[in-house]
Amino acid sequence: MMSAKQDKPVGRNTVSGRQLLDFIERIERIREQKKQLAEDEKLVFAELKASGFNAPTTRNVLRRRAAKPADVEEAEQMLDMYLHAIGMANDAPLFRAVGMMSVDLSARDQVIEAFKQLVPNEGEIIVKIGKQPVRLWRDENGVAQAEDVVERPKPASRKQSAMPERPKRDVPDVDAAGARELGAKAYRENQPITSNPFPWDDKRRQEFDAGWRAASGTDGMGPEEE
């Protein structure tokens, strides 16, 4: 019986069946060899540790030997960058690289010339040497160039003007009944309930709201939901 994913029919005591068995036995032999090699590797690491060598460091060396040099260099640069970013390295990677060139970091021109060697083919570097930032890049011919970065003066911050005083609202000279009538009048003139002219601590404010609600037949909170 042939499955839907099978391209070649396989039957018992057929040529294709013997061919399949051959493949399976070859894979089993390879797996057995891999298992044996893994055991052999464990024994070698045991000997290494018994001789006083560090196994994790040795594994690191093995990974580096198997990696491409460019990949190793990129990984180291990324590690330096990350360590510096989280505060585990005092010097920025570029400045550490310049320091390894035996450059006098106090001599501005020497530092710029050293940094020119580190400028990527695509992209640029901006470093602050002393108080003056410097931009480094490569021109069309791949020659590193440097120029001072002219920082634009920051716009003078405007002094925040004091909050303007709100104009005092004229408070009508009426009693409670008058306040209630003013509320009803406000509704009839299509004024919102928030047009109440009385201060919050004035008892007449409640009377105005009551008059507005009585005239409108609502609670003054807006249209009622159906």
Which pLDDT score, from 0 to 100, does residue 58 have? Answer: 95
What is d(CA 144, CA 167) in angstroms, rounded to the nearest whole number? Answer: 65
pLDDT band at 139; cut points 50, 70, 90: confident
Phi, psi (deg, nearest 5) at residue 99 = -60, -35
Question: Cβ atoms within 10 A of the Cβ of 191, count?
Answer: 14
Please state, for a pLDDT cut of 70, what percent of the chain lies above it: 69
Q: At residue 121, does pLDDT exceed 60?
A: yes
**What are the structure tokens assigned to 22, written together?**
């051959």
Mean pLDDT in residue range 126-147:
78
Query: Between these two residues, 192 and 160, which has the higher pLDDT value?
Result: 192
pTM of the model: 0.37
Q: At residue 144, does pLDDT exceed 80?
A: yes
Which pLDDT score, from 0 to 100, does residue 85 have? Answer: 77
**What are the structure tokens assigned to 16, written together?**
């294709």
**What are the structure tokens assigned to 95, written together?**
């400045």
Distances (CA, A) of 121 to 70, 118, 138, 144: 15, 9, 6, 9
Which pLDDT score, from 0 to 100, does residue 11 have? Answer: 64
- Give tens-digit pLDDT for 161-195: 555 555 566 789 999 999 999 999 999 998 888 88
Average pLDDT, whole number, for the chain? 79
- Give tens-digit pLDDT for 24-81: 999 999 999 999 999 999 999 999 999 999 999 999 999 989 888 888 877 877 777 7
